[in-house]
Amino acid sequence: MRKIPTLFQRDPQDRKRVLPEADPECAWVLAGEGVATRKYDGTCVLLDDDGVWWARREVRPGRTRPPGYRPVMTDETTGKTVGWEPIAQSSYASCHVEAVARSTGWKPGTYELVGPKINGNPERTAGHELIAHADAERFDVPLDLDGLRSWILAHPQYEGLVWHHPDGRRAKIKHRDFG
């Protein structure tokens, strides 16, 4: 798991907003490569190939990493390290137990854990659920800043979009990026 870069460059004066220039790392999206999918508003979890569940965790610079933490990358701008911690020690452990119990046949991959005790439940689910990122809704969306802004602002029920390139690269844009 690598932190997904934002499609457009961030405004250095206000990092919550984006500029009209694409991040060079994500220019492939504007070239029409990849598939746009719904970005769910929850917390990311991973079921690894050994059947072990992990929770995404960011660790700020100077903070102690939790036991069993597996770092993946450090953001050069913020200094935050992104990685995985065992789900059982995550603050979302009980929510995860509830979500896993709702179904069977889980396959290795990443999921979005959503529900009443996660981020204020913007997905409006009755209970805690796991949504496979591989099964996310797909969309045909405009590929320019103004078109994307209009599309996203017309769909406030979605946190944003994530594009998936066939080679594994990803890019995102969030509703809040447009202030």
9-53 tens-digit pLDDT: 988 888 888 998 999 999 999 999 999 999 999 999 999 999 999
pTM comes to: 0.86
- The boundaries of the domain holding residue 154 are 1-40+141-179
State yes or no: pLDDT of 2 exceeds 80: no
Please tell me whether residues 87 and 62 are part of one structural domain: yes
Please tell me whether residues 64 and 115 are part of one structural domain: yes
Please tell me whether residues 147 and 158 are part of one structural domain: yes
Tokens matching residue 30: 């504007």
Please tell me whether residues 20 and 47 are part of one structural domain: no
Please tell me whether residues 52 and 114 are part of one structural domain: yes
Please tell me whether residues 120 and 150 are part of one structural domain: no
State yes or no: pLDDT of 63 exceeds 90: yes
Provide the pLDDT for residue 158: 92
Please tell me whether residues 18 and 77 are part of one structural domain: no
Provide the pLDDT for residue 76: 85
Strand ranges, E, within the chain? 8-11, 14-22, 35-39, 43-47, 53-59, 70-74, 81-86, 109-114, 129-132, 138-139, 160-164, 170-174
State yes or no: pLDDT of 73 exceeds 80: yes
Number of domains in the chain: 2
